[in-house]
């Protein structure tokens, strides 16, 4: 892991910081994650980002050896996922969709998508887990970093990424890839902990999200809006507004304790 005390904010490029939190170390795992780490808070957009830059080899080893997904969700949970996916589909006019999940883990969203009759694919860094998902769920999978895998241009109606954004080193690279693989009018749906949220501001260095293994950055609401807008995305709130557990809809986001869902519609300049 490369230590870079002058690393600029990966969202807005600002170098000045307004706070810094000590991050818990994990001496039992990768050498790169044994170093003393901290999360910097950008003075501009208020995002948080790691003061060390993990290498791709370190990240590949981390997710291949130290992340396992053996959970089996209940019928109730799968049905809830299906309702949320149906809400996304209702934003368009088609009756079915081609979906790709980035960081598909155990494949529960993939199972929900497949049960809806959608053409479904998954992506993850854990090859062994992907093989299990491909066999048990019966979908095509892609191993590797999303930015690097060979995918068709304008090949997907919907791309989802649940609890993935906070594991990125450079969000720009993922969003550039998204803009290529989504069809015109395609949707991107994600869930991620949010910097500068009420829970982060209140709990500060005790915020549990800071200390989760593999968490590298957290965008603030402003930063996430700006970086997606930069790459040609706009935000579209479904009508009627969906009910997502105890989440409260506010300004196009479902937010609760720093977690946000973003529903994005890709917009092309046709002039």
Q: Tell me which DSSP letter residue 53 carries.
A: E
Average pLDDT (255-260) is: 38
The two beta strands, 98-102 and 52-53, are unpaired
Percent of all residues in the chain with a pLDDT value above 70, rounded to a whole number = 75
Q: Do residues 106 and 71 touch, judged by C-beta distance below 8 A?
A: yes
pTM: 0.84
pLDDT of residue 9 exceeding 90, the answer is: yes
Radius of gyration of the chain (CA): 18
Q: How far apart are CA 223 and CA 118, in angstroms?
A: 32
Rounded to the nearest 10 degrees, the angle between the axes of helix 75-89 and helix 108-115 is 60
Provide long-range contacts, Cβ within 8 A and 24+ apart, for 24-32.
24/210, 24/211, 26/213, 29/62, 29/66, 29/213, 30/58, 30/61, 30/62, 30/66, 32/1, 32/58
pLDDT of residue 143: 95
Question: Pick from 37, 45, 36: which is nearest to 15 by CA?
Answer: 45
pLDDT of residue 144: 94
Q: Do residues 126 and 60 touch, judged by C-beta distance below 8 A?
A: no
Q: 14-43: per-residue pLDDT in tens?
A: 999 988 888 765 544 555 454 457 889 999
pLDDT of residue 200: 85
Q: Do residues 144 and 122 touch, judged by C-beta distance below 8 A?
A: no
Is the model more confident about 145 or about 186? 145
Q: How far apart are CA 124 and CA 100, in angstroms?
A: 11
- 57 Cβ partners below 8 Å, 6+ apart? none
Handedness of CA 148, 151, 155, 160 (dihedral sign): negative
pLDDT of residue 92: 59
Is the model more confident about 187 or about 150? 150
């Amino acid at each position: 892991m490369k230590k870079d005390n002058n690393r600029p904010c990966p969202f807005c490029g600002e170098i000045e910081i307004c706070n810094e939190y000590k991050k818990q170390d994990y001496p039992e795992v990768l050498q790169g994650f044994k170093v003393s780490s901290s999360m910097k808070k950008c003075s501009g957009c208020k995002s948080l980002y790691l003061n060390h830059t993990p290498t791709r080899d370190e990240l590949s080893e981390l997710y291949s050896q130290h992340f396992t997904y053996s959970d089996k969700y209940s019928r109730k949970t799968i049905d809830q996922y299906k309702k949320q996916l149906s809400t996304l589909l209702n934003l368009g006019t088609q009756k079915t969709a081609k979906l790709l999940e980035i960081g598909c883990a155990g494949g529960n969203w993939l199972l929900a998508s497949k049960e809806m009759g959608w053409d479904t694919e998954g992506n993850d860094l854990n090859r062994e887990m992907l093989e299990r998902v491909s066999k048990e769920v019966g979908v095509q999978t892609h191993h590797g970093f999303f930015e690097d895998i060979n995918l068709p241009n304008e090949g997907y109606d919907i791309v989802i990424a649940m609890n993935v954004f906070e594991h990125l080193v450079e969000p720009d690279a993922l969003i550039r890839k998204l803009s290529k693989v989504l069809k015109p009018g395609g949707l991107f749906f994600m869930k991620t902990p949010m910097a500068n949220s009420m829970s982060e501001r209140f709990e500060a260095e005790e915020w549990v999200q800071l200390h989760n293994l593999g968490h590298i950055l957290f965008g603030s609401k402003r930063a996430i809006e700006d970086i997606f807008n930069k790459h040609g995305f706009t935000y579209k709130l479904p009508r009627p507004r969906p009910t997502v557990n105890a989440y409260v809809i506010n300004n196009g986001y479902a937010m609760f304790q720093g977690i946000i869902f973003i529903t994005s519609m890709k917009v092309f300049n046709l002039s």
